[in-house]
Amino acid sequence: PGKKVLIVYAHQEPKSFNGALLKIAVEELTKQGCSVTVSDLYAMQFEPRATRNDIVGHLHNSEAFNYGVETWEAYKRGGLSKDLVEEQKKVQEADLLIFQFPLFWFNMPAILKGWMDRVLVQGFAYDLSKAYDGGLLQDKLSLFSFTTGGGQEMYSKGSISGDIRYILWPMQHGIMHFCGVKVLEPHICYAPENVSEEKRKEMLAAWTQRLKNLWKEEPIDCSPDWYFK
């Protein structure tokens, strides 16, 4: 109660299974007394491309454009574009970040990757020697909630697609942990398009149930052991 949650949502269709998971999270967390904000990336037509347009006014070095350097400098002088400033404010205020998306090519969809690329700039999310446990977004939690095309048996050790945790490494460790954000267990709904209506209802009910006890959960130990052991 009183906690602030930002849900970054990347699906085109409100009637999709991802849309249903989003609706459940908004309703359940609001019922608990949380303040919930949603960044609905497709609806916002969120820009995924990292370009010169992200910097308002002059460049630090206009001879050779370096996105990392320019956004770092722009952040320090308050010169990032309005859409980025708004997303950073939402992140800053949040106690918990939930990412809701369909897995695309062993990863998040490009529109969500673009949110990571553009919002989590140096100076805001991390800095020189301020990364991982020293990252700038400490005291926040994150949770990756996603759907897959393939069934659970396809994402186990020894199967052709390997352990699903291999896929989580760049997202959970490489991004969230790098910024100092703690990581809760991922929430994975396997192949909702290929199961029965009954099974889909069970998966939705399980998400509601998990959210009821979410604030009691401990973060995972976000180290190579968790991913590759």
Binding site for its own copies (CB under 8 A): 12-13, 15-16, 42, 45, 48-52, 63-68, 104-107, 109-111, 113-114, 116-118, 120, 132, 149, 160-162, 166-167, 169-171, 173-175, 178, 193, 224, 227-228
- Closest approach, Cβ 111 to its own copies, in A, equals 5
Q: Which is nearer to its own copies, 178 or 207 (CB)?
A: 178
What distance in Å separates the CA atoms of residue 189 and residue 108, rounded to the nearest whole number?
A: 14
Letter for the amino acid at 33?
A: G
Nearer to its own copies, 151 or 174 (CB): 174
- Give min distance, CB of 52 to its own copies, in A: 7
Query: In whole angstroms, what is the distance from residue 143 CA to residue 100 CA?
Result: 9
Paired tokens of 201: 């209802």
Distance CA 30, CA 165 (A): 30
Q: Which is nearer to its own copies, 22 or 111 (CB)?
A: 111
- CB atoms < 10 A from the CB of 129, how many? 6
Which is nearer to its own copies, 3 or 165 (by Cβ)?
Answer: 165
Question: How far is the C-alpha of 73 from the C-alpha of 122, rounded, in Å?
Answer: 9
Nearest distance in Å: CB 115, its own copies = 8
- The minimum distance between CB 216 and its own copies, in angstroms, equals 29
Task: Tell the residue number behind the tokens 């970040």, with chain if given.
Answer: 97
Residues in the chain: 229
Give the residue with the Cβ less far from its own copies, 36 or 55: 55
